[in-house]
Structure 1
């Protein structure tokens, strides 16, 4: 008997929105692995972003391949991944068609404050505008859960963890 694919959730949004914090809490709550897609970037991408240079689609292609592969290999899991454009989400779904997506949404002012207060991350606050310009909000047809990132972390984590329950279409 063939087993159904294990559930995976991609927690998406721009840098500073809280993907890692909420994703870790959700994974702990669900008892699954947490993966930060930032850890899957090739060193050249990290260096480029750390220098304040936005990535382009050519830079992102091998990273998106690694993201999709990790979702298949490490399922069940919750992954923090920007997935800013519909094409990036489609690329991930091509290999992980049962992936659920949730978008953490937050206003620019709060994002900027969070990024300037954050330390130890390669993504500088200077790239916020490029992230916001790249973000293509999901359409209703994509079925992405949109969450207000000002809500308490435990509420957000519970909403994300609940996505691991397989849907009946």
Structure 2
């Protein structure tokens, strides 16, 4: 099975963009940061520390789904915190491989405190993401523990992706 579309998901600060870029490069696929596709209203809410609602995310998730459907063969970094969000991203996109970057609150908070120039900030916003998160299981996603170096995270994700590619249908 050839991997066509990859979703790199997890809460803010887990490394979706950095790891997604490296996965895309290794697979020779284009990379898109889902944050770049948020409507201005969403960005302003997050900048003010206001968590997004399901309604806020609807247009954004539909846009990302269309990006997959219109451009088969790409990697997108997107939080995709709930199964319903992931369902939108899978619509007409049956070849979606999900990589879940799993980390605990303290590890991610420490990483976020070192980030510069990002509109998503604050412990309360991170807490809201963890409160919203419904973790995928092994049947839905490839799960990668982020409590290791970025190189090890990428290697683990790629090994699991390549393992899927080598499976016969």
TM over 0.5: yes
Decide which of 85, 89, 111 is 1:88's aligned counterpart.
85
Query: Which stretches of structure 1, 4 residues or more, deviate above 4 A after TM superposition?
Result: none
- Cα deviation, residue 155, structure 1: 3.0
Map Cα deviations across residues 106-160 of structure 1 (whole Å, 9 max, x no partner): 1111111111111111111230010000000113442x11100123322322343
**Equivalents in 1 of 2:2, 2:104: separation in Å?**
35
- Cα deviation, residue 31, structure 1: 1.3
Corresponding residue for 1:74? 71
For structure 1, the residue ranges without an aligned partner over 5 or more in a row are none
Corresponding residue for 1:132? 130
Task: Mark the CA change 1:167 to 1:83 in structure 2 (over 3 Å): closer, same or farther.
Answer: farther
TM-score by length of 1: 0.89
Decide which of 51, 60, 85 is 1:54's aligned counterpart.
51
- Cα deviation, residue 95, structure 1: 2.6
**Equivalents in 2 of 1:74, 1:58: separation in Å?**
25
Is 1:26 aligned to 2:23, yes or no?
yes
Is 1:17 aligned to 2:14, yes or no?
yes
Superposition CA RMSD, Å: 1.9
**Equivalents in 1 of 2:155, 2:48: separation in Å?**
36
TM-score by length of 2: 0.89
- Cα deviation, residue 166, structure 1: 7.3
**Equivalents in 2 of 1:18, 1:68: separation in Å?**
21
Aligned length: 165
For structure 2, the residue ranges without an aligned partner over 5 or more in a row are none
